[in-house]
Amino acid sequence: MPGIIDWINKYSHWLVLLFLEGISLVLLISFNGYQGSVWFSGANSAAGIVQQWQQEALAYLHLGSVNKELTDRNIELERELEVLRNELHELTHDSTYTERALAAKLAQLPVLPACVVGNSIAMRDNYVIIDKGAGDGVSPKMGVVCGTGVVGIVSQVTDHYAVVMSVLNGKSSISCRLRGSNYFGYLHWQGGNLLCATLDDVPRHAVVKVGDAVETSGFSNVFPPGIFVGRVIKVRDSKDGLSYQLVVHLSSDLANIRDVAVILNNDDTDIIP
């Protein structure tokens, strides 16, 4: 306490000066309009800046909770958007002729729905694994299709699974024909492009043009006739020049398949067109 009194005594002249300056400032502001307006304008600006800093500081402190709310809201909106997309797809989807024709064709055949549980596409000889096997009636040499066309042929089976030699296999050879004619050849995959294969041994006197549909011929008991395979995108001569080699754009994207169907035909009897 004595220290404070000594400090006041020591700086009393400064304290008196500040007190008088304060009174002078108050009187100046109170009785002079111009000075008063300048003072209040400056004070308001300073107060606004201080309040802005305060709001920014508070907003920064609450940034974590705000981000969480935004994240939760974004997730909710994404879910709603996905629902709307699915509903729009269902309302606007128009099955192509090929899909309708294939569905009608399969409706006349004994088929077993299956789901793809394994699928290779990066090798020269690729295979698809499905979740149906001998216990479900699946046996080797049965054809496998999906909603857009041919997938492959069953090569091996266990009790609950089957290995399918897909179209994207260098050893695969499927008898196919040009739709609307009896000119046929054998479909092979040359590697590389997952959406293209070649139809070999098509007679040179066959009338072929780009855009023609290619379908299974039915000349074996694996696939019935008329299962869509793809469309011709290029016509070229075979290496020996005795036939055509047709480049076919496959209708099925075998890199993106899930639901398939096994054609439950009897290996000892042919499928009659």
Are residues 130 and 113 in contact, defined by beta-carbon separation less than 8 angstroms?
no
Distance, in Å, from the CA atom of 141 to the CA atom of 153, rounded to the nearest integer, reads 6
Q: State residue 170 phi and psi, 5-degree precision.
A: -60, -20
63-108 pLDDT, tens digit each:
667 666 776 676 677 667 666 666 655 544 444 656 666 666 666 6
pLDDT above 60: residue 124: yes
Domain parsing of the chain, residue ranges:
2-61, 99-263
Higher pLDDT pick, 37 / 169: 169
CA dihedral 214, 219, 225, 227 (to 10 degrees): -50
Q: What is the pTM of this model?
A: 0.60
Those residues with Cβ within 8 angstroms of residue 128's Cβ, 6 or more apart along the chain or in another chain: 116, 118, 119, 120, 144, 151, 152, 163, 164, 166, 254, 257, 260
Q: Helices 33-61 and 63-92 sit at what angle, rounded to 10 degrees? A: 70
Domain 99-263 sits in CATH at 2.40.10.350
160-182 pLDDT, tens digit each:
999 999 999 999 999 999 988 88
166 forms bridges with which residues in the sheet?
152
pLDDT above 60: residue 222: yes
Distance, in Å, from the CA atom of 210 to the CA atom of 176, rounded to the nearest integer, reads 16
Q: Which two tokens stand for residue 205?
A: 């006197």
**How far are the Cα atoms of 104, 219, 252 from residue 259, in angstroms, in the given order?**
17, 26, 12
Task: Tell me the percentage of the chain whose pLDDT exceeds 90.
Answer: 33
The whole-number average pLDDT for the span 196-205 is 91
